[in-house]
Chain A
Amino acid sequence: MATQAQNSPAGIQPRSKTEKTLDQAFVWLTRILALAVAGVLIYVAVVVGIRAMPAIAKYGLGFLFSSAWNPVNETYGALPMIYGTIVSAALALLFAIPLGVGTAVFLSENFLPLSVRTPLIFMVELLAAIPSVVYGLWGIFVLIPFLLPIGGWLHTNFGWLPIFNTPLRGPGMLPAAIILTIMILPIITAISRDSLGSLPPDLRQASLGLGATRWETLFRVLIPAAFSGIVGGIMLALGRAMGETMAVTMIIGNANNLNISLLAPANTIASLLANQFAEASGLQVAALMYAGLVLFLITLIVNVLAELIVRQVKKF
């Protein structure tokens, strides 16, 4: 009659104490690890901040506005790198926004049959998966030789413009910006396509029903409705462009001085770190950590804003 006893409600054994503790321990383990994921973000900031302390104490905020980077005299200023980071990312956005949004529109509307669109979407996303260092290698041996005559033409014809007043000798801001464009394009395309694709179909049908053409619908209804999502994607791309390291390091020229010309070599914070960290010692490490902290804070702000914008969109 043992089976019958087990089937009756009175026969259900209460869970043993060890089993309860085990269960609680498991939930707590996962909880602690989940909190630790968020903790990693804070820990990164703390570690970089502490290592940067000697430089912060010595140079203060002047570090951001001084353009001397001289490990021999121990004078450090990050202005050329901050300038380079912002200008290269801004130029990349300038090229990538029209290209990325255009591609997204072409891939989200019914311009092509689905069987053609799916592999094309996959290929654009593949652009994001190719390692940065491979883009750098390609940039050195293919992109720069290709850009040299174009740079020469820009310099001879538009040399009177300050942004083209030096000849392109190889590595420089313009090649770096083009590599960055290629690398952030998939992010803008993917997120713009998602936000266009997640709009309610009624919106499109209502507009078409009123007699609007496909492109009138896109410009007056769909793109405005998906605008915040597209802006969120652009912000994420901006964060990525500012933090991108290898491809830029390999083709920007790594010149630690300010030059307004886009054809001249320049530098970014990420490239500075990539170039100097392995051989740095003493105060130079602290100065590099300080530069890294600046980059971390800038990208953090951009990413948090992007995240908030994208999240706002998902509520619809």
Chain B
Amino acid sequence: MSTSAQDQHSFGSPASGMTRSYTSPRTLFGIVMTLLAGACLIIALIPLFLVLFYVLTQGASRLNLDLFTKLPPPPGLKGGGVGNAIIGTLMTVGIGTLISLPFGVLAAVYLSEFSKGKTARWIRFATNVLAGVPSIIAGIFAYGIIVVTMGGFSAVAGGVALAVLMLPTIVRTTDEALQIVPQDIRWASVGVGASNYQTVLRIVLPAAIPAIITGVTLAIARAAGETAPLIFTALNSPFWPRGIWKPTPSLSVLIYNFASVPFEAQKELAWAASFLLVVLILLTSILARWATRKSVY
């Protein structure tokens, strides 16, 4: 019976075998790796806190009514605001939303309601690839189709570029929102004699609306912060916007231009504009999380 005794010895007694030895290499390895992974998380969060800290402290000090109602000051002068850029951002983002919202929602309706199999797979694939297209490429696309043909920089060109960037987000979120709607209510609708468009427009879309609105809001917030596609489509302007076919200022392009200007007043406005954008995005992200918790069915 010596072998079995030896076996037992090599495994240790039951009691000591089940306790973790804090000096065994396996445990030490685990502790070291846990610390390393925790350090990764902390390092990942440091820039977030630093960016938020600087934007909130630098931007908040410049927060007053003038910021929303005045034009940026000429170089060297103090005061002023970013009122024209706020309106310009609303204009370009508004045009982008007007184009991409009906387009994206109806395309998603086809994907989730009427398509089957292969076509839908390919379209979803293309949508995901479109989501990865660099924003500056959307800019040169809009430049190529609007700025060149219409003969000038305009809010419309900026809006088209933003629409290209918003489209995949809207299609994807709407598609997902529609798929969550239970199948039963479609059958119920068809069962009482509704046609396809009645089922979709009166039953399925209303049921998915909270999730769709959430997705669209996130897309709009993201578009409001986009800069690259605007710097050569909507360009910029130091004046109040004068129409959708004229060069149009925006908060993001203003930040870009004022970041490299050697005047203190302009730098302050750049931080203040960043503050507005970041607060907008923070609020929409938090609201979106809160809104998606509720569901209609």
Contacts and interface: CB of A to CB of B under 8 A. Distances in A.
Interface of A: 15, 19-20, 22-23, 26-27, 29-31, 33-38, 40-41, 43-44, 47-48, 50-51, 98-103, 105-107, 111, 120, 122-127, 129-138, 140-142, 182, 185, 189, 213-216, 218, 236, 239-240, 242-246, 249-250, 270, 273-274, 277-278, 288-289, 292, 295-296, 299-300, 302-304, 306-307, 311
A110 to B, nearest CB: 11
Nearest to A106: B37
B37 A105 contact: yes
A134 B255 contact: yes
Nearest to A23: B195
Given A137-B255, A296-B134, 12 more contacts: A22-B195, A30-B107, A33-B107, A35-B123, A36-B103, A98-B40, A134-B274, A134-B278, A245-B134, A245-B227, A277-B232, A302-B132
B137 A48 contact: yes
Given A133-B252, A138-B50, A189 B44 contact: yes
Interface string B106-148: 1111110111000110110111111011111111110111001
Contacts of A218: 33
B182 to A, nearest CB: 21
B30 A134 contact: no
B133 A44 contact: yes
Contacts, number: 270
A31 B109 CA distance: 9
B196 A23 contact: yes
A154 to B, nearest CB: 19
A125 B129 CA distance: 21
5 contacts: A27-B197, A35-B123, A102-B41, A129-B225, A277-B143
B133 A299 contact: yes
Chain A facing B: main interface SS:
helix
B27 interface: yes
A136 B228 CA distance: 12
Contacts of B123: 34-35, 37-38
A37 B107 contact: yes
B65 interface: no
Contact of B252 (A131, A138, A140): A131
Contacts of A43: 141
B277 interface: yes
Given A15-B195, A138-B55, A124 B227 contact: no
Contact of B140 (A34, A138, A246, A288): A288
A102 B103 CA distance: 39
A246 B278 CA distance: 16
Contact of B44 (A20, A185, A243): A185
Contacts of A288: 140
B126 A127 contact: no
Interface stretch (B1-9, B77-85, B281-289): B281-289
Contacts of A48: 137, 140-141, 144
Residue from the set B224, B231, B281 with the largest chain A CB neighbour count within 10 Å = B231
Given A129-B285, A133-B225, A134-B274, A250 B40 contact: no
A85 to B, nearest CB: 10
A214 B143 contact: no
A149 B263 CA distance: 25
